[in-house]
Amino acid sequence: MSGGVVLELFNVLTVQQARTTLADHLTVRTKETVVPLLDSLNRILARDITARDDVPGFDRSTMDGYAVRACDTFGASESLPAYLDVGGEVLMGQAADGTLQPGQAWLIPTGGMLPAGADAVVMVEYTEELDQRTIGVTKPVAPGDHVVRRGEDVAAGSLVLTAGHRLRPQDLGLLAAVGVTRVPVREPLRVGILSTGNELIPPTQPTTPGKVRDINSYTLYGQVAEAGGLPTLYGIIEDDFQSLYQAVARALAANDLVLISGGSSVGTRDATAKVIAALGNPGVLFHGIAIKPGKPTIGAVVEGKPLFGLPGHPVSAMVVFDLLVRPLVESAGLLRPRQKFPLRAAITRNIHSATGRDDFLRVTLRRQADGSLLADPVMGKSGLISTMVKADGVAHLPLTKEGVEAGELVDVWLF
C-alpha cells in the first residue's frame, strides 16, 4: 500500500476538512499559455497585467454640448444666461486644435477631446443659440462636470488585473482598452473520466436484465467542460483490480486530474481504493465525507495529481464534483475556489437531517408575488438522474442542524 496510508472506510471528514486535506498535498500548477484576447474569456489569468497607457489618454466629453471654463458659467440661469463666444469646434477622433480662451465655448461631441483651457462641458440642452458665434448658457457647471479626465478610468502603470483572475466579458474590454491583445492564461486542467462497474454498458447498447447504461461519464464530462476543463472519457472499466489499475494509470499519465465513478462503497469487488493506494504517494487521503448524498467518496493525491473516487449514483457524483472537484477545475489548479453566492429561499416542507452531516437537497425554485423565493424539494433517491434534471439547484442543510421546518430560509446553489 502506497505511502503507508491505512484505508479506513468511512472515517469521514467534513467538506472543509476534505478540502484542506487535499490542499495540503497539492502544489500550485504553473503551466501557462498565451492566447488571443477573444479566446481568453473564462480563462484564468496567469500573470498580473499592468497598464502601459492612461485610459482615456486625454480629457474627453461625456455629453454633446460645449466645452467651457466652468467659472464662465457661474450664476447662469434661464432668466439671466451667461453669454459665451463660440470659438471653435472639436471634431470626433481628432485632437482639439487650439486653446479655449476666457469667455469662449467650443462645440464638442460625446467622446470628443477637450481643448486646452476647458475644464467642463455644458450639455446642449442648457444652451440657447443667439447667432452663429454666440450662445447663452442657462445652467452653470462645476469643474469636471460631464468630463472624463485623462487616466480616470485606468492610470498608466497601475495594476489592472491580477494573476488567478477568471476573465469575464468586462475584463476583455479592459484588456482591449490598455492594448493587451495576447493574454497569458493558465492551461486548463486535463481531466480523465472513468466509470467502473460490471453492470454498466455504453449508451449505444440496448439494456438487458442486470445492465444499465453509463450515466456518470456524461454528466461528469459536462461538468468538467462547464468548469473550463478538458475532459477525456476512458470508458467503462471492469470492477477488478488489474483492469482498473491499468486504466487509471493510463489516465493519470495523460491528465492532471482523474475521476473514477463507482467502486467507492463497501463490497468485496470494489477495487478503487486499493488501486489508488497502489499508484503512488501519498495515495488515499480520505474515504468518506460527512455529506448526503455522496458519503462514500475517496479523495487522493498521487505524485501531485488529485484523484477522486466518486459514488456510482449519478446525483451523488454530481454533488461531490461541485463540492470538491469544481474548485480545482475552475481555477486551473490554483486551489482558489471561484466566489459564488447562494440564493436565499424558504423551504416548503419539513425536512429531517442528521447533525454532523451536510445535506444537499435538490429543489425547484418559484417566486412569490412579494419577490421572495420558495424552494420545493425534489424527492427521490440519489440514483435517479431525472431528479437532477427537474431541479434548479441544491439547498444546503448545514451539519449543525437537525433538519429544517417549512418556511425556514435555506441557501440554494443553482446548477
> pLDDT value at position 219?
98
pLDDT band at residue 355 using 50, 70 and 90 as cut-offs: confident
Question: What does the pLDDT average to over 313-323?
Answer: 97
Whether 130 has a pLDDT exceeding 90, the answer reads: yes
Question: What does the pLDDT average to over 318-343?
Answer: 90
| Nearest alpha-carbon partner for 385 in 315, 323, 318, 317 | 315
Whether 337 has a pLDDT exceeding 80, the answer reads: no
What is the distance, to the nearest Å, from the Cα of residue 410 to the centroid of all Cα atoms in its chain?
22
> pLDDT value at position 2?
40
CA angle 165, 170, 172 (to 5 degrees): 70
Q: Using one digit for the tens of pLDDT, what is the confidence trace for 190-232? A: 999 999 988 999 999 999 999 999 999 999 999 999 999 999 9
> pLDDT value at position 10?
54
Diameter of the chain measured on Cα atoms: 97
> pLDDT value at position 4?
38
Average pLDDT, the chain: 93
> pLDDT value at position 268?
38
- Contact criterion met (CB below 8 Å) for 287 and 60: no
> pLDDT value at position 265?
58
Question: What does the pLDDT average to over 1-22?
Answer: 70
**Percent of the chain with pLDDT strictly greater than 90:** 86
DSSP string, 164-196: TPBP-HHHHHHHHHTT--EEEEEPPPEEEEEEE
Q: Using one digit for the tens of pLDDT, what is the confidence trace for 239-282? A: 889 999 999 999 999 999 999 998 665 553 467 888 998 999 99
Q: Where are the alpha helices (DSSP H) in 255-361?
A: 272-279, 314-320, 326-330
Question: What does the pLDDT average to over 20-40?
Answer: 93
Tell me the domains of the chain and their CATH numbers.
2-31+187-330 (3.40.980.10), 34-48+161-186 (3.90.105.10), 60-148 (2.170.190.11), 343-414 (2.40.340.10)
The DSSP call for residue 70 is: G
Which residues have a Cβ under 8 Å from the Cβ of 304 and sit 6 or more positions away? 26, 27
> pLDDT value at position 3?
42
Q: Using one digit for the tens of pLDDT, what is the confidence trace for 44-88? A: 999 999 999 999 999 999 999 999 999 999 999 999 999 999 999
> pLDDT value at position 264?
60
Alpha carbon separation from 169 to 160, 279, 324 (Å, rounded): 15, 42, 27
Neighbours of 8 (CB within 10 A): 11
